């Protein structure tokens, strides 16, 4: 689940984190999975000053504990992007074989 971001119309880290999580949820739903199936997640932030606010968003999306996580900072191609998520999900029984 690579490069999920969104909410770039506002310069608000919480708004962009919510948009990123909603995008991630939609991608997972396409294959019958959910955030509960995420086993590892990476958070990319533009500014370390946003770390606490971004981390607090995780509590709304993972009520039963967080998956393994890593946070790093980076510059994004889009100057309005404050954060991006990627993840690895595992759901037994799901296959992309036709």
**Pairing mode of beta strands 83-89, 68-73:** unpaired
pLDDT in tens, 10-62: 999 999 999 999 999 999 999 999 999 999 999 999 999 999 999 999 999 99
| φ, ψ dihedrals at 28, nearest 5° | -60, -40
> Between the CA of residue 40 and those of 70, 74, 96, what are the distances in Å?
8, 19, 20
* pLDDT in the model for residue 95: 63
Determine if the pTM surpasses 0.85. yes
């Amino acid at each position: 689940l690579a490069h999920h971001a969104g909410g770039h119309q506002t310069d608000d880290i919480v708004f962009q984190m919510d948009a990123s999580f909603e995008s991630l949820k939609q991608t997972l739903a396409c294959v019958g999975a959910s955030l509960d199936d995420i086993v590892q997640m990476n958070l990319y932030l533009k500014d370390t000053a946003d770390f606490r606010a971004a981390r607090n968003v995780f509590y709304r999306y993972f009520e039963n504990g967080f998956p393994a996580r890593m946070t790093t900072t980076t510059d994004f191609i889009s100057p309005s992007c404050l954060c991006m998520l990627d993840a690895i999900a595992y759901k037994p029984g799901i296959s992309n074989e036709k």
